């Protein structure tokens, strides 16, 4: 498990402690639970403030998942790790659906509406909502962790792929591009572009080799658009054959490879579109920000013999990565953005007309849907203790979803709030989603 965050009676962050130490403080009544996710305790009494060890928060931004890691630069220990799942794809799908409904409604035989897009002006630095949500998720958790831990510096993977270096391997002027990192940039790009599998046979989880789509012997180049991944048997079988000859009996595979070779990475484009905006917003935190490339991250991870995960990638971001590295016992907290509900007042049918009544009250008896509660029912058919997420009703009779089942008809009188709904879902490692 990750360490437990500690704040003093003035809500100032102290050094994180081992879970056993936190358990002792809670048992002795010297501390109370301040927050469940990430687990944070608050001291009940004023104590002499100890010397606080500064930590570095490292960020590996991604299109779908962002890795977060708190590292102590002095001893190389990972204090906390998390993987933050974004909902940019869900936002885009919702916007597409809403746009389709609005356009179909406006194109019917209804009164004439003047075009409104002509008097709309986007402010400088505007980003699409799907990209803005990624930035908001990262900045939200940076702010939260800065409240609970003594963070003194930030590290961000700024450049996922060095496109200029891949197009021109002979480029000079920047020291790291003259060494072995150039190969790491190209390999990492190809792994993401081709899905980490052989382009010819589709096998995964095997050693892959860089393969020229059009052979060098026949005039092929080293440009990244002419590179793919292949397993050793396929690479040897193809040899110097033209790809159209080698895949003459697999026209679908041939068509896919030729199209994919020139296709840009959608997820990489999303990261590239937000990287500078994220850097500028991180600078407003008032902490020094270190930047690094994706190739450097993989280089550090390879030197430390670490497996490929989002949070370990985050721990290896930048030149500040310590030579002595310790992550024993760390289980990453998996955080998934689920939003705060819909602003839509009622649901629409396929024709754009309302099919439900207006929204009811969002909060009932101090509870709202998504809150984590503990219900202790003393008697009756549903006697017992239940911990899970609540779905409210205007009658005050709630449904509670635990890890195993859903219990209906629990009165609000038996419920006690444990964790307010904050727009995220949590789970530890590979376990099921926490209720």
Write the CATH number for 175: 1.10.30
Please check whether residue 7 is in contact with residue 13, taking contact to mean a CB–CB distance below 8 angstroms: yes
Structural domain includes residue 251: yes
Nearest to 62 by CA among 269, 283, 228: 269
| Residue partners of 55: CB distance under 8 A and separation at least 6 | 70, 71, 72, 73, 79, 149, 150, 151, 152
How far is residue 91's CA from residue 331's CA, in Å, rounded to a whole number? 29
Widest CA span in the chain: 82
Structural domain includes residue 390: yes
What CATH number is given to the structural domain containing 379? 2.30.30.520
Boundaries of domain holding 224: 164-266
| Residue partners of 76: CB distance under 8 A and separation at least 6 | 322, 323, 324, 325, 326
Please check whether residue 423 is in contact with residue 335, taking contact to mean a CB–CB distance below 8 angstroms: no
Structural domain includes residue 226: yes
Q: Of the candidates 216, 236, 266, which is a domain's last residue?
A: 266
In tens digits, what is the pLDDT along the chain, a chain of 435 residues?
A: 678 999 999 999 999 999 999 999 999 999 999 999 999 999 998 888 888 999 999 999 988 899 999 999 988 899 999 999 999 888 988 888 888 877 776 666 665 666 666 677 788 888 889 999 999 999 999 999 999 999 999 999 986 555 554 545 554 444 444 444 556 667 777 887 788 889 888 888 888 888 888 888 887 887 777 888 999 999 899 888 888 888 888 888 888 888 877 665 566 677 778 888 999 999 998 999 999 888 788 888 888 899 889 999 999 998 888 888 888 888 999 999 988 877 778 887 877 788 888 877 888 888 988 888 999 999 888 899 999 889 888 888 999 998 888 999 999 999 998 888 888 988 887 544 444
Q: What is the pTM of this model?
A: 0.75
Q: Of the candidates 234, 266, 298, which is a domain's last residue?
A: 266
Structural domain includes residue 355: no
Nearest to 270 by CA among 83, 91, 141: 91
Structural domain includes residue 216: yes
- 422: tokens are 């904050």
253-to-157, 187, 195, 215, 318 alpha-carbon distances in Å: 34, 22, 14, 17, 38
How far is residue 352's CA from residue 105's CA, in Å, rounded to a whole number? 6
Structural domain includes residue 384: yes
Q: What is the pLDDT of residue 183?
A: 61
In DSSP terms, which residues pair with 157 in a beta bridge?
292
Structural domain includes residue 55: no
Pairing of strands 55-60, 151-159: parallel
How far is residue 203's CA from residue 247's CA, in Å, rounded to a whole number? 16
Structural domain includes residue 413: yes
What is the number of domains present in the chain?
A: 2
Please check whether residue 430 is in contact with residue 332, taking contact to mean a CB–CB distance below 8 angstroms: no
Give 294's Cβ-side CA count (13 Å radius): 25
Please check whether residue 213 is in contact with residue 220, taking contact to mean a CB–CB distance below 8 angstroms: yes
Q: Of the candidates 235, 250, 266, which is a domain's last residue?
A: 266
| Residue partners of 15: CB distance under 8 A and separation at least 6 | 6, 50, 52, 53, 150
- 276: tokens are 């500078």
């Amino acid at each position: 498990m990750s360490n437990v965050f500690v704040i003093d009676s003035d809500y100032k962050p102290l050094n994180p402690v081992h879970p056993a130490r936190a358990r002792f403080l809670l048992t002795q009544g010297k501390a109370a639970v301040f927050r469940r996710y990430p687990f944070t305790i608050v001291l009940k009494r004023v104590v002499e403030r100890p010397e606080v060890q500064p930590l570095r928060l490292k960020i590996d931004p991604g299109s779908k998942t962002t890795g977060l890691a708190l590292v102590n630069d002095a001893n190389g220990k990972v204090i906390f790790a998390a993987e933050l799942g974004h909902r940019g794809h869900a936002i885009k799908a919702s916007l597409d659906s809403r746009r389709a409904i609005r356009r179909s409604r406006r194109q019917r035989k209804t009164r004439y509406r003047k075009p409104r897009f002509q008097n709309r002006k986007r402010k400088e630095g505007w980003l699409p909502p799907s990209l803005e949500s990624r930035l908001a998720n990262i900045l939200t958790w940076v702010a939260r962790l800065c409240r609970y831990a003594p963070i003194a510096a930030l590290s961000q993977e700024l450049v996922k792929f060095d496109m200029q270096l891949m197009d021109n391997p002979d480029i000079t002027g920047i020291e790291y591009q003259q060494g072995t990192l150039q190969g790491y940039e190209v390999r990492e790009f190809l792994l993401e572009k081709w899905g980490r599998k052989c382009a010819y046979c589709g096998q995964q989880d095997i050693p892959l080799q860089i393969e020229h789509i059009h052979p060098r012997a026949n005039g092929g180049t080293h440009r990244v658009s002419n590179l793919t991944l292949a397993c050793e048997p396929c690479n040897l079988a193809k040899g110097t054959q033209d790809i159209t000859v080698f895949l003459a009996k697999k026209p679908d595979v041939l068509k896919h490879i030729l199209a994919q070779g020139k296709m840009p990475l959608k997820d990489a484009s999303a990261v590239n579109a937000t990287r500078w905006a994220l850097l500028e917003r991180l600078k407003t935190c008032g902490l020094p920000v270190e930047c690094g490339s994706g190739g450097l991250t993989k280089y550090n991870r390879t030197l430390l013999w670490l497996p490929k995960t989002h949070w370990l990638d985050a721990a290896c971001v930048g030149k500040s990565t310590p030579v002595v590295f310790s992550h024993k016992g760390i289980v990453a907290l998996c955080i998934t953005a689920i939003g705060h509900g819909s602003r839509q007042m009622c649901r629409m049918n396929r024709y754009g007309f309302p099919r439900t009544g207006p929204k009811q009250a969002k909060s009932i008896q101090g509870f709202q849907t998504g809150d984590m509660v503990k219900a202790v029912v003393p008697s009756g058919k549903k006697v017992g203790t239940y911990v899970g997420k609540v779905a409210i009703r205007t009658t005050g009779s709630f449904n509670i979803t635990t890890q195993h089942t859903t219990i209906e008809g629990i009165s609000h009188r038996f419920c006690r709030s444990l964790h307010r709904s904050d727009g995220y879902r949590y789970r530890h490692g590979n376990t099921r989603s926490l209720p």
